[in-house]
A and B are shown apart, each in its own frame.
Chain A
Amino acid sequence: MSRTRKHYYYLGGAVILLFLPLVMNDHLLTVAITGFMWAYLCLCWNLVFGFAGQFSLGHALFWGIGAYTSTVLFVNYGLTPWVGIFVGGLFSAIAAWLISLVVLRYRVKGVYFALMTLAFAEVFMGLALNWDYIRGPVGILLPMKNSPGNLFFMARAPYYYFILGLLGLGLGATYGIQKSKLGYYLKAIREDEEAAEVSGVPTSRYKILAMVISAFLTALGGTFYAQFFLYISPEIMFGFSSQMTMMIGTMVGGAGTLLGPVLGSLVFSFLGELLRSLPLAHSRELVTVERMIWALVLVGVIFYLPGGLVTLGNRVKSQRGKPGTS
């Protein structure tokens, strides 16, 4: 496929996405919004794991900081989440910067890095549970009203366009990083950190940069979650399950690629919808069955398709005798 034709396909896809709310009912829109939100979060995690090769298990921390910052600022001080979302992003970026400084200063790597980031998220969850100022374990309920100035809408379509914009931002950031010096440096760090260091790549600076960008973007997703679902609690925001979803979507779609994380999460959204449309048991059971399928798909992909679903196309192509383009 030639370059320009590929671009036309992307353009066509984008136009279709823009007009989808006109033909979708509320239920389908909710599915699309949730799917895009996870796709966006997967993209954020992918920046750190897929590009810099840093196995963060603490992205729930950044997600939670985003949601809690904007929500507390709005509920307690009336600051509009349109501003709060960026304050959350800033706080989250600062947290990521501080954590990265500690991690780099003491050379925490591999499993230790994963456990350390996980531990930071857990510590924050413990603090959030015991901090009455942010309502502890009860969580915060956001008002349900139509107030576009405060990023609350009664209709679904505005949320759809908002998350579509975020997704575009995530894709743009990933694409930009991929094509820039930063992307090549990060790839070099992922493949062989010592070799990169020796060849003059300032590894620390770029690892911090990847982490900070990713944390900032993740926090924006956190605010979106709060504005759309209107309820946040320490378990939801700092618990491990959001991290799990980011990891599964990214790994199944293909870590370190542009479209892999999006593809992975959308496949799961689609599978979930398919499952719910079958005349089966109660919804509570369906959720568990759905997650069991996620787990099986994850393990299957890691074992049999280590590059993720995005490599599927290339495989088919190379079997036809054409080398894969990537």
Chain B
Amino acid sequence: MAFFARIRLAAFVMLFLGLMVATPSIAQKLGPDGAPNPTASATNERDLLAQFPRAEGRIDIPDTKAAVLIQPAGRTWDYFHEVLLHWGGAVVILGTIGVLGLAYLVIGRIRITAGRSGQKILRFKTFERISHWLTAVSFVILGLTGLNITFGKIVLLPVIGPDAFSDISQTAKYVHNFVSFSFMMGLLLIVAIFFKDNLPEKVDLEWLKRGGGFIKNKHAPAGRFNLGEKAVYWLSLLAGIAISVSGLLLLFPFYGTNIADMQIAQVVHAVVAVLFVALILGHIYIGTLGMEGAFEAMGSGEVDLNWAKEHHDLWLARKLASEERPTQPSATPAE
């Protein structure tokens, strides 16, 4: 019995202690005049936003995104879009153009050292070139219309006025939204066609060690694609996936996404787009101004034999070897 008495005492003490702890919180629920304070359990905006990124509730209308009452992240996104993106984008893109201009002045156009042989060899088949130019034309259109959305109001609006600028921007928006599909198709084709030749090889390290062909009189060996081209391939693949996925989310707003997802999709889309434009500016430079004999590979598809020897010796050797042993006893050159 003494045991039970002790338990009863312990329980009483516990209850008493508990009440002592609980009393102040009960007191808080009463107003100064002893009346219950109806806001004691009410949330206020500050506590809610300290706990959650957004203040959300129930809504009577079918538009579910209207259930978000307050999302202060809108101001953060505004800061990203108007400050970080404007400055970051301008610095990266203009910086890239500056660096390429400097490269042209310092290194200059990389010539075919041995001069043109006059002999041509097929580097890119028609289908490969169509895939490339489909992607390239789409990219340029997407790039310009995309830059217009970010920089147009700073660069173009003051020049042509609000009415003309709105008309252009509206058209540019639709062009951007629909050309995206030809870009994604072109990207898929490029990725599939050139996958095998862009896998890393041992010779890539050798190419890098010898300065990638940028140092005069130092030959850098390479297969069909050198390490620089492979970098463009893999970075384009990564950027292409990021920009396509985020772009599709933006094309179909609020399908399984909330306001924060839409903001993140836009941030990813914008940041990757700026870096992608910088990468492709480098790609365009080396394919046109930066190197003699490079453009015709994607132009006519045929390159000079000496150019191939200097830049893609291993590929040329393989190509010539396969042409010497034609599988078909035919006089037409193998494609």
Real complex partners, A and B? no
Q: Which residues of B contact A (CB under 8 A)?
A: none
Binding site for B on A (CB under 8 A): none
